[in-house]
Amino acid sequence: MAQHIIELKNITKSFGTVYALGGVNLHVDPGEVVGLLGDNGAGKSTLIKILAGVIKPTSGEIVVNGERVSNWSPARSRAAGIETVFQDRALAVQQSIVRNIFMGRELAGRFGWLNLRKQVSEAERLMREIGFTSKVFSPNSIVGQLSGGERQGVAIARAILKQANLIVLDEPTTALSLTETAKVFHFVRQVRASGRSIVFIGHNIHHVYDIAERFVVIDRGRVAMEKKKSDIASAQELIEYMECVARSQGVTAGEME
Ligand SMILES: Nc1ncnc2c1ncn2[C@@H]1O[C@H](COP(=O)(O)OP(=O)(O)OP(=O)(O)O)[C@@H](O)[C@H]1O
Protein backbone atom coordinates (compact mmCIF):
# COMPACT_ATOMS: atom_id res chain seq x y z
CA MET A 1 0.00 0.00 0.00
CA ALA A 2 1.27 3.50 -0.83
CA GLN A 3 2.54 5.55 2.08
CA HIS A 4 0.18 8.19 3.44
CA ILE A 5 1.33 11.65 2.40
CA ILE A 6 0.15 12.96 5.74
CA GLU A 7 -1.16 11.36 8.87
CA LEU A 8 -2.61 13.09 11.91
CA LYS A 9 -2.49 10.81 14.92
CA ASN A 10 -4.65 11.26 17.97
CA ILE A 11 -4.84 15.04 17.57
CA THR A 12 -6.48 16.98 20.36
CA LYS A 13 -7.10 20.69 20.57
CA SER A 14 -8.62 22.69 23.35
CA PHE A 15 -9.28 26.40 23.43
CA GLY A 16 -9.36 27.11 27.14
CA THR A 17 -12.22 25.01 28.40
CA VAL A 18 -13.59 24.26 24.90
CA TYR A 19 -12.54 20.87 23.56
CA ALA A 20 -12.54 21.35 19.77
CA LEU A 21 -10.83 18.05 18.92
CA GLY A 22 -10.75 15.02 21.14
CA GLY A 23 -8.27 12.63 19.53
CA VAL A 24 -8.63 12.70 15.75
CA ASN A 25 -6.87 10.33 13.37
CA LEU A 26 -6.85 11.36 9.74
CA HIS A 27 -4.68 10.38 6.82
CA VAL A 28 -4.52 11.31 3.16
CA ASP A 29 -3.10 9.06 0.47
CA PRO A 30 -1.47 10.22 -2.76
CA GLY A 31 -3.96 11.13 -5.47
CA GLU A 32 -7.18 10.80 -3.51
CA VAL A 33 -10.06 13.16 -2.78
CA VAL A 34 -11.11 12.98 0.85
CA GLY A 35 -14.46 14.51 1.76
CA LEU A 36 -14.53 16.04 5.24
CA LEU A 37 -18.03 16.42 6.61
CA GLY A 38 -19.58 17.51 9.86
CA ASP A 39 -22.05 19.88 11.43
CA ASN A 40 -21.27 23.45 12.43
CA GLY A 41 -18.82 23.42 15.30
CA ALA A 42 -17.82 19.78 14.70
CA GLY A 43 -14.13 20.69 14.48
CA LYS A 44 -13.41 20.70 10.71
CA SER A 45 -11.90 24.20 10.61
CA THR A 46 -9.77 23.51 13.65
CA LEU A 47 -8.52 20.32 12.00
CA ILE A 48 -7.56 22.00 8.72
CA LYS A 49 -5.93 24.91 10.54
CA ILE A 50 -3.81 22.33 12.34
CA LEU A 51 -3.00 20.71 8.96
CA ALA A 52 -1.97 24.16 7.66
CA GLY A 53 0.17 24.70 10.76
CA VAL A 54 -1.63 27.93 11.68
CA ILE A 55 -2.77 26.56 15.02
CA LYS A 56 -0.88 24.07 17.13
CA PRO A 57 -2.54 20.93 18.41
CA THR A 58 -2.71 20.46 22.17
CA SER A 59 -1.41 16.92 21.70
CA GLY A 60 -0.94 14.32 19.01
CA GLU A 61 1.50 13.53 16.22
CA ILE A 62 1.87 14.69 12.64
CA VAL A 63 3.55 12.23 10.29
CA VAL A 64 4.64 13.22 6.78
CA ASN A 65 5.61 10.48 4.33
CA GLY A 66 6.08 8.10 7.25
CA GLU A 67 8.23 10.47 9.35
CA ARG A 68 7.06 12.22 12.49
CA VAL A 69 7.51 15.99 12.22
CA SER A 70 8.08 17.95 15.39
CA ASN A 71 7.36 21.68 15.84
CA TRP A 72 4.73 21.63 13.12
CA SER A 73 4.28 25.13 11.67
CA PRO A 74 2.96 26.89 8.52
CA ALA A 75 6.46 26.58 7.00
CA ARG A 76 6.61 22.83 7.74
CA SER A 77 3.11 22.36 6.39
CA ARG A 78 4.09 24.13 3.15
CA ALA A 79 7.31 22.14 2.99
CA ALA A 80 5.17 19.00 3.22
CA GLY A 81 3.33 20.23 0.10
CA ILE A 82 0.10 21.22 1.83
CA GLU A 83 -1.79 24.31 0.67
CA THR A 84 -5.14 25.40 2.01
CA VAL A 85 -7.65 27.45 0.07
CA PHE A 86 -9.64 29.02 2.89
CA GLN A 87 -13.21 30.12 2.34
CA ASP A 88 -12.36 33.75 1.61
CA ARG A 89 -9.69 32.54 -0.89
CA ALA A 90 -7.77 35.78 -0.16
CA LEU A 91 -7.85 36.94 -3.79
CA ALA A 92 -7.26 40.53 -4.79
CA VAL A 93 -10.30 41.03 -6.98
CA GLN A 94 -9.06 44.26 -8.60
CA GLN A 95 -5.90 42.51 -9.76
CA SER A 96 -5.33 40.22 -12.74
CA ILE A 97 -5.36 36.42 -12.60
CA VAL A 98 -1.61 36.30 -13.13
CA ARG A 99 -0.91 38.77 -10.30
CA ASN A 100 -3.11 36.77 -7.98
CA ILE A 101 -1.41 33.50 -8.86
CA PHE A 102 2.08 34.92 -8.31
CA MET A 103 1.29 37.21 -5.38
CA GLY A 104 4.27 37.09 -3.05
CA ARG A 105 6.14 34.66 -5.33
CA GLU A 106 6.85 36.85 -8.35
CA LEU A 107 9.34 35.50 -10.86
CA ALA A 108 12.40 37.70 -11.20
CA GLY A 109 14.39 38.11 -14.41
CA ARG A 110 18.14 38.45 -14.85
CA PHE A 111 18.46 41.88 -13.23
CA GLY A 112 15.93 41.26 -10.52
CA TRP A 113 13.07 42.83 -12.50
CA LEU A 114 9.78 41.08 -12.66
CA ASN A 115 9.65 38.59 -15.48
CA LEU A 116 6.09 39.35 -16.52
CA ARG A 117 6.17 37.40 -19.75
CA LYS A 118 7.31 34.26 -17.95
CA GLN A 119 4.63 34.76 -15.29
CA VAL A 120 1.92 35.07 -17.94
CA SER A 121 3.04 31.92 -19.75
CA GLU A 122 3.34 30.01 -16.45
CA ALA A 123 -0.13 31.25 -15.43
CA GLU A 124 -1.47 30.05 -18.79
CA ARG A 125 0.08 26.64 -18.21
CA LEU A 126 -1.36 26.40 -14.68
CA MET A 127 -4.80 27.46 -15.88
CA ARG A 128 -4.66 24.79 -18.60
CA GLU A 129 -3.46 22.21 -16.08
CA ILE A 130 -6.47 22.71 -13.84
CA GLY A 131 -8.82 22.73 -16.83
CA PHE A 132 -9.54 26.44 -17.05
CA THR A 133 -10.89 26.32 -20.56
CA SER A 134 -12.61 29.70 -20.81
CA LYS A 135 -11.85 31.45 -24.12
CA VAL A 136 -13.09 34.70 -22.63
CA PHE A 137 -10.44 35.10 -19.92
CA SER A 138 -6.68 35.34 -20.20
CA PRO A 139 -4.09 35.54 -17.41
CA ASN A 140 -4.41 39.33 -17.65
CA SER A 141 -8.16 39.31 -16.96
CA ILE A 142 -9.24 40.94 -13.73
CA VAL A 143 -10.33 38.44 -11.06
CA GLY A 144 -13.37 40.58 -10.21
CA GLN A 145 -14.78 39.69 -13.65
CA LEU A 146 -14.68 35.97 -12.91
CA SER A 147 -17.52 33.89 -11.55
CA GLY A 148 -17.33 32.23 -8.13
CA GLY A 149 -16.27 28.85 -9.53
CA GLU A 150 -13.59 30.45 -11.69
CA ARG A 151 -12.23 32.39 -8.72
CA GLN A 152 -11.91 29.09 -6.91
CA GLY A 153 -9.90 27.91 -9.92
CA VAL A 154 -7.50 30.85 -9.57
CA ALA A 155 -7.01 30.00 -5.89
CA ILE A 156 -6.35 26.35 -6.83
CA ALA A 157 -3.86 27.39 -9.54
CA ARG A 158 -2.06 29.50 -6.94
CA ALA A 159 -1.86 26.49 -4.61
CA ILE A 160 -0.43 24.34 -7.40
CA LEU A 161 2.20 26.96 -8.18
CA LYS A 162 3.39 26.47 -4.62
CA GLN A 163 4.17 22.83 -5.45
CA ALA A 164 1.28 21.54 -3.40
CA ASN A 165 0.69 17.82 -3.44
CA LEU A 166 -2.26 18.16 -1.08
CA ILE A 167 -4.77 20.96 -1.54
CA VAL A 168 -7.31 21.55 1.19
CA LEU A 169 -10.47 23.23 -0.08
CA ASP A 170 -12.57 24.79 2.65
CA GLU A 171 -16.20 24.75 1.50
CA PRO A 172 -15.30 25.63 -2.09
CA THR A 173 -18.85 25.25 -3.41
CA THR A 174 -20.74 27.06 -0.65
CA ALA A 175 -23.04 29.70 -2.18
CA LEU A 176 -22.24 28.59 -5.74
CA SER A 177 -24.83 27.77 -8.39
CA LEU A 178 -24.97 24.35 -10.06
CA THR A 179 -22.98 25.59 -13.05
CA GLU A 180 -20.31 27.13 -10.84
CA THR A 181 -20.15 24.03 -8.66
CA ALA A 182 -19.59 21.96 -11.82
CA LYS A 183 -16.63 24.21 -12.68
CA VAL A 184 -15.08 23.65 -9.25
CA PHE A 185 -15.60 19.88 -9.62
CA HIS A 186 -13.90 20.02 -13.00
CA PHE A 187 -10.88 21.78 -11.46
CA VAL A 188 -10.77 19.25 -8.61
CA ARG A 189 -10.85 16.32 -11.04
CA GLN A 190 -8.05 17.82 -13.10
CA VAL A 191 -5.93 18.32 -9.99
CA ARG A 192 -6.67 14.75 -8.94
CA ALA A 193 -5.74 13.49 -12.42
CA SER A 194 -2.33 15.12 -12.01
CA GLY A 195 -1.72 12.82 -9.02
CA ARG A 196 -2.32 15.39 -6.30
CA SER A 197 -4.63 14.88 -3.35
CA ILE A 198 -7.52 17.01 -2.20
CA VAL A 199 -9.32 17.38 1.10
CA PHE A 200 -12.74 18.74 0.22
CA ILE A 201 -14.77 20.23 3.07
CA GLY A 202 -18.42 20.79 2.46
CA HIS A 203 -21.79 21.12 4.10
CA ASN A 204 -23.65 19.96 0.99
CA ILE A 205 -23.52 16.19 1.29
CA HIS A 206 -24.48 15.71 -2.37
CA HIS A 207 -21.47 17.79 -3.44
CA VAL A 208 -19.10 15.91 -1.18
CA TYR A 209 -20.55 12.54 -2.25
CA ASP A 210 -20.09 13.43 -5.94
CA ILE A 211 -16.49 14.52 -5.72
CA ALA A 212 -14.85 12.50 -2.92
CA GLU A 213 -13.59 8.92 -2.90
CA ARG A 214 -13.46 8.59 0.87
CA PHE A 215 -15.57 10.30 3.50
CA VAL A 216 -14.57 11.32 6.99
CA VAL A 217 -17.32 12.61 9.24
CA ILE A 218 -16.31 14.72 12.22
CA ASP A 219 -18.73 15.00 15.09
CA ARG A 220 -18.06 16.88 18.30
CA GLY A 221 -14.34 16.80 17.78
CA ARG A 222 -14.04 13.13 16.88
CA VAL A 223 -14.06 11.03 13.73
CA ALA A 224 -17.54 9.54 13.90
CA MET A 225 -17.41 7.73 10.56
CA GLU A 226 -14.93 6.95 7.83
CA LYS A 227 -15.96 5.14 4.68
CA LYS A 228 -14.86 4.63 1.13
CA LYS A 229 -17.25 5.63 -1.60
CA SER A 230 -17.28 2.03 -2.78
CA ASP A 231 -18.91 1.13 0.58
CA ILE A 232 -21.71 3.69 0.26
CA ALA A 233 -24.36 3.18 -2.39
CA SER A 234 -25.62 6.75 -2.76
CA ALA A 235 -25.61 10.29 -1.41
CA GLN A 236 -28.86 9.35 0.34
CA GLU A 237 -27.09 6.57 2.23
CA LEU A 238 -24.38 9.04 3.27
CA ILE A 239 -27.10 11.43 4.48
CA GLU A 240 -28.60 8.61 6.52
CA TYR A 241 -25.21 7.88 8.12
CA MET A 242 -24.83 11.56 8.93
CA GLU A 243 -28.29 11.65 10.49
CA CYS A 244 -27.36 8.59 12.52
CA VAL A 245 -24.19 10.37 13.71
CA ALA A 246 -26.19 13.49 14.62
CA ARG A 247 -28.71 11.45 16.63
CA SER A 248 -26.12 9.41 18.48
CA GLN A 249 -23.83 10.65 21.22
CA GLY A 250 -20.38 10.01 19.84
CA VAL A 251 -21.16 6.69 18.19
CA THR A 252 -18.18 5.07 16.45
CA ALA A 253 -18.13 3.83 12.87
CA GLY A 254 -17.99 0.23 14.10
CA GLU A 255 -21.13 0.68 16.15
CA MET A 256 -23.04 1.93 13.13
CA GLU A 257 -22.25 -1.05 10.91
N1 LIG B 1 -10.31 30.27 18.52
C2 LIG B 1 -11.24 29.60 19.20
N3 LIG B 1 -11.48 29.87 20.48
C4 LIG B 1 -12.42 29.19 21.18
N5 LIG B 1 -13.18 28.19 20.68
C6 LIG B 1 -12.98 27.89 19.39
C7 LIG B 1 -12.01 28.57 18.57
N8 LIG B 1 -12.05 28.01 17.32
C9 LIG B 1 -12.98 27.05 17.35
N10 LIG B 1 -13.53 26.97 18.60
C11 LIG B 1 -14.57 26.03 19.03
O12 LIG B 1 -14.14 24.73 18.65
C13 LIG B 1 -15.25 23.96 18.18
C14 LIG B 1 -14.97 23.49 16.75
O15 LIG B 1 -15.03 24.62 15.88
P16 LIG B 1 -14.68 24.56 14.33
O17 LIG B 1 -14.70 25.97 13.84
O18 LIG B 1 -13.43 23.79 14.16
O19 LIG B 1 -15.90 23.74 13.75
P20 LIG B 1 -16.34 23.52 12.22
O21 LIG B 1 -16.65 22.09 12.07
O22 LIG B 1 -15.31 24.08 11.32
O23 LIG B 1 -17.65 24.39 12.10
P24 LIG B 1 -18.21 25.24 10.84
O25 LIG B 1 -18.72 24.24 9.85
O26 LIG B 1 -19.30 26.04 11.46
O27 LIG B 1 -17.09 26.08 10.31
C28 LIG B 1 -16.47 24.85 18.30
O29 LIG B 1 -17.07 24.57 19.55
C30 LIG B 1 -15.90 26.25 18.29
O31 LIG B 1 -16.72 27.15 18.98
Q: What is the mean pLDDT of residues 46-65?
A: 95
With a Cβ cut-off of 6 Å, ligand 1 is lined by 15, 18, 20, 38, 40-46
Query: From atom 14 of ligand 1, which residue's Cα is the shortest distance away?
Result: 43
The pLDDT of residue 255 is above 50: no
88 within some domain = yes
Question: For position 49, what pLDDT does the model report?
Answer: 95
Query: From atom 26 of ligand 1, which residue's Cα is the shortest distance away?
Result: 40
1 within some domain = no
Work out which ligand 1 atom sits closest to the CA atom of 16. Answer: 4
Centre of ligand 1 from the C-alpha of residue 140, in Å: 38
Q: What is the mean pLDDT of residues 38-59?
A: 94
What is the band of 129 on the pLDDT scale with cuts at 50, 70, 90?
confident
Q: Which residues contact 236 (CB under 8 A, 6 or more apart)?
A: none
Q: How many CB atoms lie within 10 A of CB 92?
A: 12
Which ipTM was obtained for this model?
0.95
Residue 82 belongs to a domain with what CATH number? 3.40.50.300
Query: From atom 22 of ligand 1, which residue's Cα is the shortest distance away?
Result: 45
Query: From atom 17 of ligand 1, which residue's Cα is the shortest distance away?
Result: 45
Work out which ligand 1 atom sits closest to the CA atom of 47. Answer: 18
> How many domains does the structure of the chain reveal?
1
Centre of ligand 1 from the C-alpha of residue 41, in Å: 5
Instruction: Report the candidate in 78, 65, 124 with the shortest Cα–Cα distance to residue 97.
Output: 124
* Range of lowest pLDDT (13-17, 41-45, 47-51, 135-139): 135-139
> CA-CA-CA-CA torsion for 36, 33, 196, 103, nearest 10 degrees?
-40
159 within some domain = yes
Centre of ligand 1 from the C-alpha of residue 24, in Å: 15
Question: For position 112, what pLDDT does the model report?
Answer: 58
Residue-range definition of the domain harbouring residue 52: 6-256
Question: For position 249, what pLDDT does the model report?
Answer: 61
Tell me the CA distances in angstroms from 52 to 82, 86, 130, 198, 215, one per residue in order.
Answer: 7, 10, 22, 13, 20
Query: From atom 29 of ligand 1, which residue's Cα is the shortest distance away?
Result: 41
Whole-prediction pTM value? 0.89
Work out which ligand 1 atom sits closest to the CA atom of 221. Answer: 14
